[in-house]
Structure 1
Amino acid sequence: MRAEQQLMFYCPLCCAVLYCSVECQRENTQGSTCQSHGFWCSKFLTYMKDTSTLSDFPFEFSQETSSADFDATRYRSFLKEKGVLGEGCWLREGLTSSDKVQSHRYGRYLDLENPYVLPVESCVLDEPISVDCQSSIVDWASYYKCRELDLSSPVAILLQWPLTVFFIIQNVLNGTEPGNEVNIDIVGVEKEVELVPVFKELGNLLPESKIDIHMFGRHLHPQVKEKTWSFGSVVVSVHNELYHKNVCAPQAQTPHLVIGFNAGIAAYSSWIPTIKKLKSMKVPTYFTDYCKSSIELSRLMLKDHCDVMTSDPILNPFRSPIRMTSSDHDLPWFSNAYILGLEYT
């Protein structure tokens, strides 16, 4: 929980970071390394200016869900009001640190029977997409219009994952030719393994393609380990191992595309051997992240430890409409907010 607001104050320059005392601020600002606020202050000021752009959604509820004070309590109330709290693929949404669900491994709560919970959305998303509007899908507004979904529907929270993959394929890989097989590896998965059924929508978006998805992550629940599910033209397999260990196997296929959602590369040293392997394979690889500060750290780590550069991050039009809050800053954080690609030399 954030401390009582009246006991805290913002950095007067960036207006992003909260401090409990002048002494704390002075200590944190000293120095110019990436551990110091002195390094980040001007950057944070720039990031804060992105707030209105990141919060720009067509949904009826987005003014509420993209506000700086939309915390876990308010999120739970929102999900309850929508009738999805604790149900289907929504189970891990709005959790607090004390929720029992948090102690269970990812994959424990996989609902293949009623993933969306919402009756109207469940029916709509079970149908193919009209051929006439497929090419017009470029953001949430055009997608909802094409699918004839009401802008009060929160289903974008779940669909951010397959729609982000769709955006990368269409705009980064220049789309797919009819009849093509698209092999996609998704690395560093956690909650994604409980969202397996929503990837069926990727098949609806690319109806002429056979899509083979392999998910890789550690410490997954036994019920999803080395399992495969088919949803029409989409096949999803889950592997309980680090990616660089699997791709060394003789039977491993070379993917057309590798994606890591909300990667936070700089926070996990286990990314280093994976990135080095991807570099040797020269596979098109894209990562999403919550915010530009995480991307900045990731780019530093990639350059220093893997000798890999990245493209400039682009705003993901299919990012989550739910703002994430922090106890010590007000930087705008959204799941899958930005996309950046690895550049190999």
Structure 2
Amino acid sequence: MECAGKGRGSRCIGPAIRRCGRCGAVAYCSADHQIKHWNDHKDECKRFEQQMKRIDALYEFPFTFSEEAVQLCQKQVSRCSFLSKRDIHKVGMWLYECPCGEAATSYDYSRLNDSWVLPRISCPCSEPLSPITKRLHSWKDYYDWRCIPLHSPAALLLHWPLTISYAMEVAGLEPLTPEFGDTLRIHYLGPEKELLQLSVFAELLALFPGVTIHIELVGPRIPEEMDGESIDLSSYAKCLQMDCVCKYSSKDVNRGVYSDKRPRLALKLWRGLYHDCYKAITENYHPHLIIAPNAGIAAYSSWLPTIELIKKINVPAIFSDFCEEACHLGASCLSCVIGHPITFPIQLNPFRQPIAIEDTALFLPCYSNCFLYGV
């Protein structure tokens, strides 16, 4: 944890262990830095205090590893140890789920990682046993429907497609209505680690049965060699078991080649900023939904022209972020640009990733896709 008063005149004299007595969300190396930082902190302090009172809700997960997740949030264990304990450290789609994986110098984008590296019982590697008949409101609902035991870490990756599904609900969008026909079109802004986990998006086939889904992934982190690439996901990511039905299910993932049969889930990658790519992306159609996971709107000035574009095209746009404060700042930026309050208020995402992000700037717990809001 970095001293919140760093750079206020004198050097930091040690670790930041002196927490604000009112909010408890920020820490300082000394009383001197705390005093010098007060003019900047006083406006946010009460807001932080209220957010800290709500953090117990962030810890509410049904998993058998939920206690470990809290320990990780309190920095008693690490992501690396959590993954190593389950034999999924730095392998397959799990590569980018810990700091040492993120620090890898190169990634192999030449082929899609399509394995869970989990036993069959622990992951959704094939069609669901029963069609989805009701809205899912929690990880427990989802795990029960997919017949996955609560010790499975699959939710650490499944938060990507489940957040898309929940964003549709937040925006009040229903596929298979006259508005959509049988095709759902989504613009997905700012992908990063998802680029090594694209196979997990195949779960949308189960979440939206009978719907053809087109997702345009747009962002500056897409490698040049992947720019313009099309990926047809027609089967689920596979499990470890060699005799599982997932090994013999419909054809494997095709990259850049579509069959004569209309694809169920088509991904296309666009390198660049959304406002620069928009005309090319929408040459033939417009999206039903825009989603920007872990957006960090307040942190990047490049969002300004994108928000102005979203205001013009008048399409529901859902943003997520790692903590409530980031969403508060992002919502303030949105409101300033669009000229009115946000349409979809800040709310906790029940399908947030169930273990916390390490090395955060505040004592507020941070989870990938933690809170949602939008216009």
Task: Give TM-score scaled by structure 1 length.
Answer: 0.88
Query: Is 1:156 matched up with 2:155?
Result: yes
Tell me, what secondary structure is at the counterpart of 2:97?
coil
Please state how far the C-alpha of 1:71 moved relative to its aligned partner: 4.2
* Residue 45 (structure 1) aligned to one of 41, 46, 49: 49
Contact 1:258/1:284, CA 8 A, preserved across alignment: yes
Structure 1 unaligned residues grouped into runs of 5+: 31-35
Name the residue aligned to 1:228.
230
* Residue 262 (structure 1) aligned to one of 281, 294, 306: 294
* Residue 212 (structure 1) aligned to one of 211, 214, 223: 214
1:134, 1:248 → 2: CA distance?
Answer: 37
* Residue 187 (structure 1) aligned to one of 186, 189, 193: 189
* Residue 30 (structure 2) aligned to one of 10, 14, 21: 21
Query: Is 1:335 matched up with 2:368?
Result: yes
Aligned length: 332
| Letter in structure 2 aligned against 1:24 | H
Tell me, what secondary structure is at the counterpart of 1:296?
helix
* Residue 65 (structure 1) aligned to one of 61, 65, 69: 69
Tell me, what secondary structure is at the counterpart of 2:217?
strand
* Residue 91 (structure 1) aligned to one of 49, 74, 95: 95
Contact 1:246/1:252, CA 8 A, preserved across alignment: no
For the structure 1 residues 239 and 77, does the alpha-carbon distance in structure 2 shift closer, same or farther, using more than 3 Å as the test?
same
| Letter in structure 1 aligned against 2:48 | F
Name the residue aligned to 1:296.
328
For the structure 1 residues 329 and 100, does the alpha-carbon distance in structure 2 shift closer, same or farther, using more than 3 Å as the test?
closer
Contact 1:228/1:238, CA 8 A, preserved across alignment: yes
Name the residue aligned to 1:321.
354
For the structure 1 residues 206 and 327, does the alpha-carbon distance in structure 2 shift closer, same or farther, using more than 3 Å as the test?
closer
The list of structure 1 runs, each at least 4 consecutive aligned residues, that deviate by more than 3 angstroms after superposition, is 1-7, 67-73, 107-111, 130-134, 325-328
Tell me, what secondary structure is at the counterpart of 1:235?
strand
Name the residue aligned to 2:198.
196
Please state how far the C-alpha of 1:177 moved relative to its aligned partner: 1.7
Contact 1:228/1:237, CA 8 A, preserved across alignment: yes
| Letter in structure 2 aligned against 1:262 | N
| Letter in structure 2 aligned against 1:12 | G
Please state how far the C-alpha of 1:189 moved relative to its aligned partner: 1.6
For the structure 1 residues 5 and 87, does the alpha-carbon distance in structure 2 shift closer, same or farther, using more than 3 Å as the test?
farther
1:118, 1:5 → 2: CA distance?
Answer: 43
Which deviations, in whole Å up to 9, do the C-alpha atoms of 1:251-272 show, x marking residues without a partner?
2521000000000101011111
Please state how far the C-alpha of 1:110 moved relative to its aligned partner: 7.0
* Residue 268 (structure 2) aligned to one of 223, 228, 237: 237
Name the residue aligned to 1:33.
none
Tell me, what secondary structure is at the counterpart of 1:85?
coil
Query: Is 1:55 matched up with 2:59?
Result: yes
Please state how far the C-alpha of 1:164 moved relative to its aligned partner: 0.7
Query: Is 1:168 matched up with 2:172?
Result: no
Tell me, what secondary structure is at the counterpart of 1:42?
helix
Tell me, what secondary structure is at the counterpart of 1:43?
helix
* Residue 85 (structure 2) aligned to one of 81, 94, 98: 81
2:57, 2:338 → 1: CA distance?
Answer: 32
Tell me, what secondary structure is at the counterpart of 1:57?
coil
For the structure 1 residues 329 and 68, does the alpha-carbon distance in structure 2 shift closer, same or farther, using more than 3 Å as the test?
farther
Name the residue aligned to 2:126.
127
Name the residue aligned to 1:10.
19
Name the residue aligned to 2:240.
none
Contact 1:288/1:337, CA 8 A, preserved across alignment: yes
Please state how far the C-alpha of 1:72 moved relative to its aligned partner: 9.8
Please state how far the C-alpha of 1:128 moved relative to its aligned partner: 1.5
* Identity among equivalent pairs (%): 31
Name the residue aligned to 2:255.
none
Contact 2:213/2:266, CA 8 A, preserved across alignment: yes
Name the residue aligned to 1:141.
140
For the structure 1 residues 228 and 301, does the alpha-carbon distance in structure 2 shift closer, same or farther, using more than 3 Å as the test?
same
Measured on the aligned residues, the alpha-carbon RMSD in Å equals 2.5
2:290, 2:14 → 1: CA distance?
Answer: 42
